[in-house]
Structure 1
């Protein structure tokens, strides 16, 4: 596993090639660590990418075209070694591609690209999911970062919020399982929201999970200039 860095006058960050996971996020002025440190006593991860499943399936099994496959919770991308495709002063791009091992659990060929872009007090995380198969590919992708917070358990989770992205707008193709769990029904959703996510505090660790199903997406961390 290799670790790569980006920094400017406001932010220092580190991304590991294992899972293309953001593992450090530091405010340059305060020297404060904002991303959870992966203490295995609580949770061994920092900001895993959930792909090609978000969440888990019953008995870790699902069926596709009459065949049963197994899939661990949140998919396999977070535990794969990514290739660094490019690095500039303010961007990092990583990727994985399907292989014989992934095909045993997920019968689609694909390329997953993960990018990190640093601009001023903002870090933008970008995902590109590319279907390299000849058939339609079903997937979900999500972010699961954890942050340190000064909140206390007594204060409760309603005392603070985190903005992740702004003015999300577009038509999205999604699928839902039918009542007999044997087929996928296609639905089209039009979405226009400004995200405001409630913080959940557990012993100074902040967790939130955001799930989306689309082929290109990004989420944004915006830090106050005093941090």
Structure 2
């Protein structure tokens, strides 16, 4: 399995990725911000995504979004093809996209909203901390992405102060002594890397 920073050679996978994002959200009954083929294609072409492939099949995907003029970065749209789930692929992709985010935007706060326990664990291992929603970007465009979520009404009733998602934030100011590598669960990462590269 290869995990790479995306480029135009990966555009062949964009329709499958978009469809799986939609299907996965439907199965889980949670909202993933709907993204167009054009939007995802741009992320892929600009190298603002990470894609995992194996034998010319897409395995997993995640992309970077910036908010508040680059002060905040979100790693969004994390998805793994059903065929490759439960093998630690999400952890490997999340580690790589986090590293890419830190390389491209070293001073930005990296954040996410999730209802998934597995993603919370990955984020925690990378140095994210649970925070209240006011600690996140207040960029209207970001919050508009929640409109596709089944819980949007709850979010608005609570005046965007909280919802069913847990907000998590990595603040580089609080992690200056830790490099990106030190924030990764080294033994777990290495074990997963070895076992999944030989799949």
| TM-score range normalised by the length of the shorter chain | under 0.3
Of structures 1 and 2, the larger Rg is shown by 1
- TM-score, normalised via structure 2 length: 0.28
Q: Pick the structure with more strand per residue.
A: 1
Q: Pick the structure with more helix per residue.
A: 2
- TM-score, normalised via structure 1 length: 0.26
